[in-house]
Amino acid sequence: MLYTPLAMEDIFSSHAETPWMGEWWIDGRLCLVRRDADGYVRLERLLSSDPQDFLDSRFQPNRIVATILF
């Protein structure tokens, strides 16, 4: 957590390429995913209101959910 009045754009360099992110339905649950530099699609965040979903190992952050290379 940053305690500063500056905007995030002023602190972090904007030279880095922003990775592709999107929302996918995985096993009936809405998830936020991102494509990393190697082309893998990784789970970024689970978007659920059910607490039991967060205990499921299939929805651990940074898990590879697809190997789409293009």
Q: Cα–Cα distance between 59 and 8 in angstroms, integer?
A: 28
Tokens of 67: 């190997």
Q: What angle do CA 44, 45, 47 make, to 5 degrees?
A: 150
pLDDT tens-digit readout, 58-68: 999 999 998 76
Backbone angles phi, psi at 63, to 5 degrees: -75, 140
For residue 66, give Cα distances in angstroms to 5, 47, 70.
Answer: 39, 18, 12
pLDDT at 12: 77
Question: What residues does each domain of the chain span?
Answer: 17-65
pTM above 0.75, yes or no: no
pLDDT tens-digit readout, 11-66: 776 666 677 899 999 999 999 999 988 889 999 999 999 999 999 999 999 999 98
